[in-house]
Structure 1
Amino acid sequence: MNNKLSPIIFLMGTTASGKTYLAMKLSKIFPIELISVDSSLIYKWMDIGTAKPNKKDLYYVKHWLIDIKEPHEYYSVSEFYYNVLKIIKLIIKKGKIPLLVGGSMFYYKKLIEPISPLPSTNIQVRNFIINKIKNNGKYQTLHDLLNKVDSYSANKIHPSDLQRNLRALEVFFLTGKPLSKLIKIKKNKIPYKIYQFALTYYDRNKLYNAINTRLMKMFQLGFEVEVRNLLYNKKLQINFPAMRCIGYKPMYSYINNEINYTDMFNQIILSTRHLAKKQLTWLRNWNNVHWLNSENLDFAYNSIIKIINKIFL
């Protein structure tokens, strides 16, 4: 290995492209530990709708950043950033290879680009902010309060985006400085040599077919039952951050007789296709990526093996 920096691997790609399958296959021949780069897999109890790796895969290969949050808890990109740095260091110390796999492209971006020194989420501060809104008629919404303390950020964040408004306020109350100023302060890039792979179907129709197949499998596995149980046991509610995961809001609306089955199903299909388009847009503007076609996963697998062998052997 000629590089001074320790190498790490990114296995990115669109939803339903076969990333998890490929990562698991690679783990059988290389000493790999997987780090999930997926904003949905962090939540406990939500297994089917997020296409979480099955128990067998989780048992045989170490997966990081899966089932680390309750559905009512927030998880910021800065938390992800600092968690990943610690995990990568631990994996390398074991003499193993960190392979980051998932489709949350914004998370990857924050690993590649220098990140601003933002504080971690603080539930006490969040509760303080929420109570301040409730008890002070002067500020009717989170966005109103944000506009008072950080008008620049308020202009950038939609009033209905509760999570981003709350996060911007949280940063202000924790640091005394506006988010808009802190994000301009950059730190050093992560100290690793990154090898990036992007997996997708080159044919858009085949990508959509894969999405449809994945959704049908979710329903066969009991997605509706999963959501009904979560709602019944109060583990998931409409205002929880986890409800942003694709599929859960339409299913919630269906269970509550707000929409019919067909509308629910179509909404999930459209949302998943929209996610895939966004992921492709991110990846097309990415630098130094090895593109892989999901239509031939064996070829993709062998292509990655050749590159990994050059890096680590």
Structure 2
Amino acid sequence: MSQHLPPAVLLMGPTASGKTACALSLAKHLPIEIISVDSALVFRDMDIGTAKPSAEEQGVCPHHLIDILSPEEAYSAARFREDALTLMAQITARGRIPVLAGGTMLYYKALREGLSELPQADEAVRAGIDARARTHGWPALHAELARLDPSAAASLNPNDAQRIQRALEIVSLTGRSLAENYAQREMRPPPFRFIGVALDAADRSVLHARIAQRFDAMLDAGFVDELRRLRERYVLDVSMPSMRSVGYRQAWAYLDGEVDAATFREMGIAATRQLAKRQITWQRKFLSQWPDLTPVDCLDPNLPGTVSDTVRRQLDDPLPPALDS
């Protein structure tokens, strides 16, 4: 039955794995529109530190969910799912194929599996958590979570402020563990036949080298100046979701004089590598659960062509050539 549903391509991978090049390659062969699956690309004026596709790249085919919010605002997995499903239906109605490309793995999970009915953010509860973190540090809050919900704490890094905050908030508001809350997820499979590609690195050291090279390129392109302009233009705080993006929170510490330039660079590269590790862990779980997801080595010298061939083989019927923009 799924073979009769309209196709949608999922193109996921860790940072610096080549997702943008692969998506643009697909546009040469198929009538596609790209939906960004990236929690940082939604923010305007955050271009360098997010490795946002250039205006020229975005001109190759229509792109969606890029530059839709001020850095002062927040975006969620629930909103992504709603926005993505609406866009996927619109793209399909235009006779094109939606390609969801990016590295925010929680968004892919939300899209495919639905979301639990979790409580909305409670500013008072969050303020109390943040106050305790400022006094005692996030490892102490992680220990607090371990007493309340050992399973949730075991899955989180003691310095992962954003996730520790949200976990404590949910447990405090519901009186239930995260596992109990997530078990209430409503399963509503989207009306699409997914064709998935998961980019991975057979040699992790090469991916690490790419990450370092890309971070240095961001610095050369004026990443620090970009953040300086953002702080002048918007009313920002380091705790905001936009400023929690990898690279930006480390640059914030540098601008505040908390670390020197060399330490900032080391912190930024290390944080990006940690992000890639988490993304790969998510992907491997997806590969064990989603039969329509195909692994592809991102170090393949003909990566865009390999991804394009992988996707085209899985499409049922011959499709017309890509439509002119």
After TM superposition, the score normalised by the length of structure 1 is 0.80
Measured in 1, the distance between the counterparts of 2:84 and 2:32 equals 15
Number of residue equivalences:
300
Deviation for aligned residue 1:133? 9.7
Residue 71 of structure 2 aligns with which residue?
A: 71
Question: Residue 307 of structure 1 is aligned with which of 313, 320, 324?
Answer: 313
Counterpart position of 1:234: 234
What SS does the corresponding residue of 2:259 show, helix, strand or coil? Answer: coil
Among candidates 279, 292, 295, match of residue 291 of structure 1: 295
Q: Please give the alpha-carbon distance, in whole angstroms, between the structure 2 residues aligned to 1:234 and 1:244.
A: 15
For residue 198 of structure 1, report the CA deviation from its aligned partner. 1.2
Secondary structure in 1 aligned to 2:211? helix
Cα separation, 2, equivalents of 1:75 and 1:208: 28
Q: CA RMSD in A?
A: 3.6
**Cα deviation, residue 201, structure 1:** 2.9
In the alignment, does 2:272 pair up with 1:268? no
Letter in 1 for 2:186: K
Deviations 1:17-75 (A, max 9, x none): 11011101211221111111111111111110000111122234211111122222222
- The alpha-carbon distance between structure 1 residues 192 and 69, as it changes in their structure 2 partners (threshold 3 A), is same
Q: Distance in 2 between matches of 1:16 and 1:133?
A: 34
> 2: distance between equivalents of 1:82 and 1:7?
18
Indicate the SS of the match to 2:3: coil
**Aligned pair in 2 of structure 1 residues 118, 226: CA closer, same or farther (>3 Å)?**
same
- Rounded to whole Å, the distance in 2 between the matches of 1:83 and 1:2 is 22
**Cα gap change, 1:201 to 1:165, in 2 (>3 Å):** closer
**What CA distance in whole angstroms lies between the structure 2 residues aligned with 1:16 and 1:45?**
20
Name the counterpart of 1:249.
Answer: 249
> Which consecutive residues of structure 1, in runs of 5 or more, have no partner in the other structure?
135-143
Match of 2:50, SS state, is coil
Q: Distance in 1 between matches of 2:67 and 2:7?
A: 26
Name the structure 2 match of 1:97.
97
Seen in structure 2, the aligned counterparts of structure 1 residues 219 and 161 have a Cα distance that, compared at 3 Å, is closer
1:94–1:231: structure 2 CA closer, same or farther, 3 Å change rule? Answer: same
Structure 2 stretches of 5 or more lacking a match? 131-140, 320-325
In 2, distance between residues paired with 1:93 and 1:74?
Answer: 29
TM-score (norm 2): 0.77
What secondary structure, in the 3-state scheme, does the structure 1 residue paired with 2:218 have?
helix
Q: 1:270–1:197: structure 2 CA closer, same or farther, 3 Å change rule?
A: same
**Alpha-carbon distance in structure 2 between the residues aligned to 1:177 and 1:82:** 28
Whole-angstrom CA distance in 2 between matches of 1:282 and 1:132: 30
